């Protein structure tokens, strides 16, 4: 019972959310730099220009992770920091920043896990059409090649895209995120298809450039359905709904991941999208379905379903007063049991939870500490469910808490605090929360303290 001995324990961040240094050292602009300039959708018009100032304080942050017992750190590369125009000219000092970060991590015995794209699309390429441009997969492959060429002598673990569902839907359909446009269905589907081809070409580029054995995956969002009971009927219904494409938008799993892992778009989606579909060639699907080494999944919450009278799925409403986080996401620990089980059954790769965590409203107490018992409880409940999935035969490979430190939570600005470490956004002082020390002890015991009474 419990976690495998080589289980990967860490936490995650993304570049725009923590780095700052938005206009420094030859970095080009991303769609997020631009979007935050005059966005009315962002809480109190905040931005990530300075964020946690990790760009200047990365050494302190790595030392903190070491103190907190981290075995691994998932972070992302800011594309236009490396290639200011997205393609072509390389910004050497941008690359050097990531190279120094990698060295610092390795010296601290922390394994770097790199995400290539966590939403900082280069503005120059966006002006050329962004994901709508049929050349966009080649642009991404060029970027992947540059990063892998420079860092793969020391980095083993790679992820191409973070949550294609979110950057396509929130950024291109409802203008809630950068680049903040509202495209038509046909264009949204085309942009999504190009993003998946980019993933495939990115995987090829990483493998071709890799100077050491590399492990490659993706970090999609997972929106699972859970069975309301343990009856076989409810379980099957929950599985089927989890992998269905019920609505004409991209908030699902299978539209994005069946092509990647099974080499084809799901039938129900093809039928639903019909005349709006982009041309999809067998060659595209071959590129998209590159073999991968692990299944990364960002999982926070889930919703229950049951089998209705006529065999149909019935959504179960959240109970009034149910436990929710500050993002208004219901607290559903069982999701870390059912989602890994379903994902493993369908896609058959070891599961890494690339994100899981909770936001809250928090402040430092009079004693100078930050007490966050709810986060400890949240993590304990979710981790125990994940271990249970492992006991039931799912290959569980790792867990990255989202997030290392409080940071810029996209449209919600600095309103949400999700970190293990509290950040004062005026002084940039870091204060590890109670949960950070508790998590350190979980890591030290390889999860065993979770099962002590
Ligand atoms: C996402 C991203 C993270 C978020 C986190 C909480 O899911 O939006 O991967 O950048 O900060 O998920 O919303």
Q: For tokens 């989602």, name the residue.
A: 339
Asked if residue 232 is part of any domain, the answer here is no
Span from the CA of 354 to the centroid of ligand 1 (angstroms): 10
Asked if residue 378 is part of any domain, the answer here is yes
- Rounded (5°) CA angle 382-251-333: 10
Asked if residue 320 is part of any domain, the answer here is no
Asked if residue 304 is part of any domain, the answer here is no
**Ligand 1 atom with minimal separation from the 221 CA:** 7
Is 104 catalytic? The answer is no
- Whole-angstrom distance, CA of residue 48 vs CA of residue 156: 28
Active-site residue (options: 104, 169, 355, 362): 355
Span from the CA of 168 to the centroid of ligand 1 (angstroms): 14
Q: Which residues of 155-165 are buried (b: 16+ CB within 10 A; e: fewer)?
A: bbbbbbbbbbb
pLDDT over threshold 90, residue 453: no
Query: What's the pLDDT score for residue 175?
Result: 94
**Ligand 1 atom with minimal separation from the 359 CA:** 6
Contacts of 105 (CB under 8 A, 6+ apart): 62, 65, 73, 111, 112
**Per-residue pLDDT band at 287 (split at 50, 70, 90):** very high
Number of domains making up the chain: 1
pLDDT over threshold 80, residue 323: yes
Span from the CA of 215 to the centroid of ligand 1 (angstroms): 23
* pLDDT tens, residue by residue, 162-197: 999 999 999 999 999 999 999 999 999 999 999 999
Contacts of 356 (CB under 8 A, 6+ apart): 298, 299, 300, 336, 382, 399, 400, 401, 402
Residue 98 DSSP code: H
Pocket test for ligand 1, best of 409, 415, 420 (most atoms within 8 A of CB): 409
Query: What's the pLDDT score for residue 270?
Result: 98
Span from the CA of 349 to the centroid of ligand 1 (angstroms): 23
pLDDT over threshold 90, residue 449: yes
Q: For tokens 């049951």, name the residue.
A: 306
Asked if residue 308 is part of any domain, the answer here is no
* Nearest CA-CA partner of 404 in 20, 6, 61: 61
Is 334 catalytic? The answer is no
Which residue owns the Cα nearest ligand 1 atom 6?
Answer: 409
Contact 76, 117 (CB under 8 A): yes
Range of the domain at 114: 8-221+331-451
Q: pTM to 2 decimals?
A: 0.98
Strand duo 295-298 + 225-227: pairing: unpaired
Q: What percent of the chain has pLDDT over 90?
A: 97
Asked if residue 131 is part of any domain, the answer here is yes
CATH, residue 35: 3.20.20.80
Asked if residue 102 is part of any domain, the answer here is yes
Which residues line the pocket of ligand 1, CB cutoff 6 A? 14, 17, 162-163, 166, 221, 298, 355, 402, 409
Active-site residue (options: 19, 104, 120, 163): 163
Contacts of 366 (CB under 8 A, 6+ apart): none
Contact 196, 256 (CB under 8 A): yes
* pLDDT tens, residue by residue, 45-69: 999 999 999 999 999 999 999 999 9
**Ligand 1 atom with minimal separation from the 119 CA:** 10
**Ligand 1 atom with minimal separation from the 300 CA:** 12
Asked if residue 301 is part of any domain, the answer here is no
pLDDT over threshold 90, residue 306: yes
Q: At what angle do helices 185-209 and 164-172 cross, to 10 degrees?
A: 140
Q: What percent of the chain has pLDDT over 70?
A: 100
* pLDDT tens, residue by residue, 381-421: 999 999 999 999 999 999 999 999 999 999 999 999 999 99
């Amino acid at each position: 019972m419990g976690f495998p001995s080589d289980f990967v324990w860490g936490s995650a961040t993304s570049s725009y959310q923590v780095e700052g240094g938005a206009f420094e050292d030859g970095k080009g602009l991303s769609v997020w730099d631009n979007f935050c300039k005059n966005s009315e959708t962002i809480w109190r018009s905040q931005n990530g220009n300075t964020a946690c100032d990790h760009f200047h304080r990365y050494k302190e942050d790595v030392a903190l992770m070491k103190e907190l017992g981290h075995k691994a750190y998932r972070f992302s590369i800011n594309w236009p920091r490396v290639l200011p125009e997205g393609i072509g000219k390389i910004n050497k000092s941008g690359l050097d920043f990531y190279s120094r970060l990698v060295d610092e991590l390795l010296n601290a015995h922390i394994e770097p896990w790199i995400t290539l794209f966590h939403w900082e699309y280069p503005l120059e390429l966006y002006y050329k059409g962004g994901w709508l441009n049929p050349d966009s997969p080649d642009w991404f492959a060029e970027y992947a090649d540059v990063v892998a060429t420079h860092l793969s002598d020391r980095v083993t673990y790679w992820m191409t895209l973070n949550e294609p569902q979110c950057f396509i839907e929130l950024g291109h359909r409802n203008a809630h995120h950068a680049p903040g446009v509202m495209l038509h269905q046909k264009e949204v589907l085309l942009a999504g298809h190009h993003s998946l081809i980019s993933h495939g070409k990115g995987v090829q580029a990483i493998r071709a450039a890799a100077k050491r054995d590399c492990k490659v995956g993706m970090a999609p969002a997972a929106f699972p359905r859970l069975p309301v009971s343990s009856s076989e009927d409810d379980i099957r219904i929950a599985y089927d709904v989890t992998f269905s494409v019920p609505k004409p938008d991209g908030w699902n799993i299978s539209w994005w991941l069946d092509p990647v892992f099974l080499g084809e778009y799901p039938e129900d989606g093809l039928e639903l999208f019909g005349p709006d579909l982009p041309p999809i060639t067998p060659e595209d699907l071959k590129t998209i379905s590159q073999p991968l080494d692990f299944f990364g999944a960002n999982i926070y919450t889930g919703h229950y379903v049951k089998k209705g009278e006529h065999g149909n799925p019935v959504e179960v409403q959240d109970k009034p007063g149910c436990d929710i986080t500050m993002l208004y996401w219901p607290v559903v620990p069982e999701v870390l049991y059912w989602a890994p089980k379903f994902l493993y059954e369908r896609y058959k790769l070891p599961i890494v939870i690339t994100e899981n965590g909770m936001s809250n409203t928090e402040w430092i107490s009079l004693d100078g500490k930050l007490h966050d018992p709810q986060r400890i409880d949240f993590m304990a409940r979710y981790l125990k469910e994940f271990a249970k999935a492992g006991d039931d035969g799912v290959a569980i490979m790792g867990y990255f808490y989202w997030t290392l430190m409080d940071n810029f939570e996209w449209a919600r600005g600095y309103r949400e605090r999700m970190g293990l470490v509290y950040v004062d956004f005026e002084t940039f002082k870091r204060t590890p929360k109670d949960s950070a020390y508790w998590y350190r002890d979980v890591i030290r015991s390889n999860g065993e303290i979770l099962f002590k009474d």
